[in-house]
Amino acid sequence: MSIIRKTKSVRLILSAFNDNKDAISIVELINKFNKKMNKTTVYRVLERLEKSSILHSFVGKDGLKRYAKGGKNSNSKKILNSHPHFLCEDCGTSSCIPIDIIIPSIPNYTIKTSEHLLIGQCKNCLS
Ligand SMILES: [Zn+2]
Ligand SMILES: [Zn+2]
């Protein structure tokens, strides 16, 4: 993990994730901080946080990048594990599902990352 400088923008963006267990889309983040920092800063900070494994991202069905806390893979280099994300079709909430999906090794292909998006209804929309 590289050291990330805790600038004001880094702290602000991290605080959004501390208040929220669900994933936050890039658009929500830009709107949330549009008075405090410009779009480019939001993108840059997110990219840095992702590189440092503080956040990870995945792409929703709408093609929007969403960010959530923590590193993406609990990988031990040899076995690539990845957790799926759940997207609720009704309310649009997305969240990390804390299970490991183990990616088998496939001859002739090198897999670096994988994304699993589960789509359905969350518990709030089912009740
Ligand atoms: Zn829902
Ligand atoms: Zn996740």
Per-residue pLDDT band at 72 (split at 50, 70, 90)? low
More confident residue, 53 or 121: 121
Q: Residue 78's pLDDT is what? A: 39
Report the distance separating Cα 54 and Cα 1, nearest Å. Answer: 9
- How high is the pLDDT of residue 79? 44
Q: Which two tokens stand for residue 77?
A: 């280099």
Contact between residue 116 and residue 82 where contact means Cβ atoms under 8 Å apart: yes
Ligand number nearest to the C-alpha of 89: 1
Question: Cα(86) to centroid of ligand 1, in Å?
Answer: 10
Contact present, 81 and 102 (Cβ < 8 Å): yes
Give residue 41 CA to ligand 2 midpoint distance, Å: 23
- pLDDT level of residue 75 (50, 70, 90 thresholds): very low
Q: Above 60 in pLDDT, residue 116? A: yes
Q: Tokens 């589960």 appear where?
A: 118
pLDDT of 63 reads 87
How many A from CA of 27 to the centre of ligand 2?
Answer: 18
Confidence of residue 3 (pLDDT cuts 50, 70, 90): low
pLDDT at 28 (0 to 100): 94
Report the C-alpha gap between 62 and 95 in whole angstroms.
Answer: 15
Which domains, from first to last, does the chain contain?
Answer: 8-69 (1.10.10.10), 81-126 (3.30.1490)
